[in-house]
Every structure is written in C-alpha cells, then in structure tokens.
A and B are shown apart, each in its own frame.
Chain A
Amino acid sequence: MSAVASLRRVGLPRLVVHLSVLVICIIWLIPTLGILVTSFRDAGQIAASGWWTAFTGAAETSAARLGDPSTAKQNGATYVITGSVFEGGKGGAVRAFGTRVAAPTEFAVGKAADLGDGETLTINEDGSYTYSKNAPFEGRGKRVYLSVATPPSFTTENYRTVLTSQGIGQSFVNSLTVAVPATIIPILIAAFAAYALSWMEFPGRALIIALVVGLIVVPLQMSLIPLLKMYNEIGNFFGVPSRSYAGIWLAHSAFGMPLAIYLLRNYIAGLPREIIESARVDGASDFEIFVKIILPLSFPALASFSIFQFLWTWNDLLVAMVFLGTGKDQLVLTGALNALLGSMGGKWEILTASAFITIVVPIIVFFALQRYLVRGLLAGSVKGG
C-alpha cells in the first residue's frame, strides 16, 4: 500500500474527492470538446448559437410575410387569411412569434394573439397560421417575426473545405515531412553519443556531459539570429534556397540533441556492466556491442525520446517560421493555422476544423504511447535536469 493510500483513511470524505476530480476533468475537457463539436456544425448554426446548444437544437429568429390581402376569404363579418409561414422556405418548429423585430417571442404559439384593430393571429408550431380581421385587409401582406427551433444539423463539410480549398491537407503532408525525419535522425546520432559518454573512457568526457546538460536549457532565441544569417549565406553561396526541408531537419535534430543525449545517457549508463563486459571479452567491437546489445535494450528510452521529439517538431511554430518557407508546399500545420487565424478571423467553421486536424495526430500518439511519455518525463525531470 502506498503512502497516499494510507492517507485515504484519514482524508476528506470520499464523495467530495470524486466530485472535485469530476469537475476538474470537465473543466479541462470543455475547451477541446467545444472545437470538436463546432467543427462538425453547420456554418450558419455556429454563428447563430453556442456550441453547447448543438445537440438540443437552437432557437433562431427569422422573418416571414403573411399572405397577400387578395388571398383573404370572407367569412361572415370577418376576413381570414390562412397558410404557412414556412412557404417557400426551410422548415422547423415555431416556438413563439411577434410583430416587431425586437420582440420575436411576444406571443406563444397555438394561441390566438390579439394584434389590435380587431386583428387576431394564430400561428401553430408547424407553421400554419390563421390571420383574421373584422374588416377587409389592406396594403401588403403582414410581416411577422418568428423564433424557430432548428433541429441539430451536423456536417463534415467543414473538414472537406479546409482539407481541399484551405490547403490544410497539403500542410498536413508538410508537417509529416518535417516531423518524421526530424524525429528519427537525432535519435540515431544521440544514441551513439550517449553510448560513448556512458561506456567509453576518454579525456574530456565529464566536460562534454556538463556541456550537454547546460545546453538543455539554452533558449532557442539565442540560436535564431546567427543561424538565420548562416543559412542565408550558405543559400547565397551555393545558389540554393536558404529555407529548405534539409535545413529544418538539421535544426530540429540539433535543438533536440541535448535532451536526447541526456535522457539516453541516463538510461544506457544504467545498463548492467556485466553484459557489456562479457561481450567485450568475447571479442565484440564497440560498434557491434552498440548495435546488437545497447540498441535493443534501450528501446524504452528511445521510445520516450522519440515521442517527445515528434510532439515537439509537430507542434513547433517558431523554428518552422524561421527556417522553412511560407509557400504552399512548405507551410506546416501550425503555420497554416496561424495564417488562418489572421485571414479567417470569425469563421469558426474553418478555424475549428483546421485546429482539430492539427491536434488529432499528437493526441493519437499521446494516448497510444502515454506510458513511454510519462517514463521519459520522469527520467528527464526527477533525476536532476
């Protein structure tokens, strides 16, 4: 039994704990849920009502014109116009109606409303109405305002739009093109370095380890200006574009390198000495030991780091903005989303669908490989860094 479990006996009543965790979970989930629900809603409904009403249907205000006085039928002393307010328009369920735009819920449905001047109007939920007056109708058909409950309407149209016409599909491929090589290349390089720093004796080893630990926290901002200058010079010198995929792969590899070496060294240095020494006695070279023994044994540490690096490169905006172009074939998802925020301001059907496409890959990776992620976090922070 853990320490926390024994605290259980003396702590707060159980129910309070359950409820507070439930509330916290709901608060933490609601923001993401909001864009998920919104991304599947019809554009018109998004602008007309909050996403939390998406499943109950929302009340929208609409206007309709009653039948022309020429269609009135005389019935004794009264003149009557009948019809439906939904004629030639979309359907729905009328919740209330009114004669002024400021008060579309003045009268309840199904009951005769006295409009003055001897006029009464009854509108039923299905839209049919009876409009009567004790004298002939004059002028044009009367304008009424309705509060109409529209049924929930969900669509995948938003996703189709952003994937094709907004270039999010292309950016998705660009993001993959950046993230996958930028995850795999540094792991290989860091693993060899970590092995050398753990199991090989050479002068300056402690110094290099100290350097690596120090570099973990160096802010990216320190690197940007000189590297941008360097990239531009290399580009000019060789007559190639200064912003390229190769450039960003190397940049991401280098920026992830200190943490990669640190995490892998911690793990590899902890492997049992006997295994490595008996392999040496058997005449295996360091290269063979590394490939045949160290790599397979270090799988958990390699997995931890690759998840970190993948999430970091996929979610990165700054490095991509500096080292990668903003052209269609190079704009990554985060960059595209940032651009849409500027150009598509209030168009939430576009923004929410794009945002969800951006976050879906990391979320899948997260839930599938959470175990390794947690292990990596613990190795990276509890031990000392």
Chain B
Amino acid sequence: MDNTTRYQRLLERYQNGDLDRRSFLGLIGAAGLAYGLQTPFARYAAAQEVTQVRFDGWGGVVSEAFREHAFDPYTAATGIDVVDGTFGGGDEYLARVRTSQPGEYNIAHLSGVFDYARYHNLELSVELNEDNIPNLQLCMPALSEAFRAISGGPLSCVPYNYGTTGIAYNRAHISDEEAQAQGAGLLINADYEGKIGGWSDWRTRIWYGALQTGQDPNNITDIEAVWDAVRQHRDLALRYWTSGAELMNLLAEGEIHVTEGWSGRIFALQEQGHDIGYIDPPNGFGWQECLFVIAGSPIEACEELLNFMLEPATSIAVAEGQNYPPALDPTRVDLGAKIPTLPAFDPTGTLDHLTFANPDYWNGNEQEWSETFSRVQRGY
C-alpha cells in the first residue's frame, strides 16, 4: 500500500468518526516526522530493494495513456509500483529535482535537447545499458544521436516524441496564402496589433526573432537585430502565453489571431473544429522530447520501465493522445492511421526537414539571453 492510500484510509476513518481528532493529527505528525528523518537515508534502502519508480510528465491524456499501456503492465510484470507526478514546465521541474535527494525523482518526460544538456551538465545524468531496452532499436537513430553527442556516446534517456513550434493563425482573419507568404513575419505584422500572441519562452522568442531578421537560429550573427524584432513583437502582442492550455484558450476564444504554437496543441484545436491554420516556416522550430533517467535512480528498474514505455502500442497510444509523432521509426513500425496525419510527422524517419536547436550553441548563450529577454520583455 502506498503512502497516499494510507493517508486516504486514515482520513476516511477520521471523517467517519472511527478516529478522534487528536489521534488523527498525532498519526499524521508522526508520519511526517518519520519521513523527514528517514529521507536522507532512504536511498540506501532503495538501493537494496526497488519497490517503486517515480515518473514525472505533463499530465493529462499522456499520463492516462502511460498508466494504461505502460505503468500497469509494468507493475504486473515486475511488482514495482510506478508513482506518476506532473509538472507545469521543464524549468520548474529542474528546480524541484535540484532541491531533492538523489533517487527521489527517477524518470522525467523532458522537452528538447536543451534539457538533456542541462541535466547532463548538472551531473544529473546516468549511463543506460541499451541492451536492457530492446525497443530502443525501433526508434529513429537521428533522435538518439542528438543526445549521444551531448553525453559522449552513452544515453541517459530514450527519445520519445517530436514536434514543431510553428505559426498558428485564425483562418477567419488570416488566409493560408497570407500566412505562407509572410511566414515568421506574420508575428510582427502591425495590421494584427493587439491580436498577436507568443510563448513567454526566451528561446522561442529569440528563434523567431532570428527568422524575422533572416538569420540562422543556430548561428545568429546580429543579436541586436534579433532583440529589436523581439521588441517589435512585444509591442504588438496582446499576451505572452505560458502554457499549452492558455495557448488553446486564447486562439479558441478569439483573443488572438496569430501566435507561435505547438504542433500537437494546434492539431487538437483543429480536431475540436476550430478553423485554425498551422504552418512551419522555413527553419521553423523543431524539437524532440525524451524520457530521461535522473542520477540516483534504480537504473535497471528504470530501463525496464522505459522498454515498456517504448512498446509500439504504448508509444502510439501516447502519440495519438498528445498529437505528437512518436520517436518510433515509421519505416520499421506501422504507426496506424492517425499519426501520419499529425503535423511535423516525417514518413522517412530521417527528420531531415526539421531544424532542431543546437544545444551547445543555445545552452552556451542561455544565461546572457535569458537575462536579456527578461529585460526586453519589460520594455528595455
């Protein structure tokens, strides 16, 4: 029985009157004290016998798909429970991991290759034994190679899905032809002042600033021009959205007519019947997500779980739920009917048509650019 269930049963007894208030609070306090005292030493016990693995992801349909297709079968096969948590953003999650005890967090559904590099640089990576993850062979090599380049060969994650951050627009106000013709420039078109949105993420703002000034996002030569483009967008924008849910709400409610958007979220809006167009401009922002094993975790148990999560049935169910193509190689695995219709899907399995951020380049500029963006956003 896990701690949550224990607590719920205790609470139920208290609410039913089977337990007096003093005893209830006493037991809760004792449990808290015991947990606080044992935590620094829990990892040694955990090293001896693995009883649970913690997975953290984005929640929603993804977690439900993981629970049904991977976690429950994994628990049935191994007897190891999977505790799944959620996070609102990669930065917030990294802050949580950094303040935790080793082994407290095990596997995370991380965004981009940046995060992989950040975790690796902070010595939070491990070396996975790929022989224990046979389903990794079904994934597109192009995705794994990006991670190998950072950690010098071994992997601390398995690739899981990919997508793009393209331009989403309301077809009632902006035609497909206009969107295609203007590309990234649509986001700084003064005709749409007050109806433009954008993600509050500094990387995306700079990436699109580079596209708007005709520069290669992985080799920006005139950063001042990029900041000017970011300022131009800021002054025209109504809102910097901070989550996928907010992005969808702003577009669906007609608050904004054009913004960058995550391919899967825009596809979900289209599925709901909203007349929203989506294009990836030349050099549009491609990204991939991975399942990362954090240092201090029970490696073999995590490898086994990763293999369950990479099972084609699980990967496809998750992909169909979140509308992002899976990392599975479409030339080797039948991905069904829906996935080939998703935005950013690459039937060749090479991903040559997508531009990914160079992690060395972007992480090398992270400190300076993220701090400067904070100022530019506020009118500087």
On whether the two chains bind one another, the answer is no
Chain A positions near chain B (C-beta within 8 angstroms): none
Chain B positions near chain A (C-beta within 8 angstroms): none
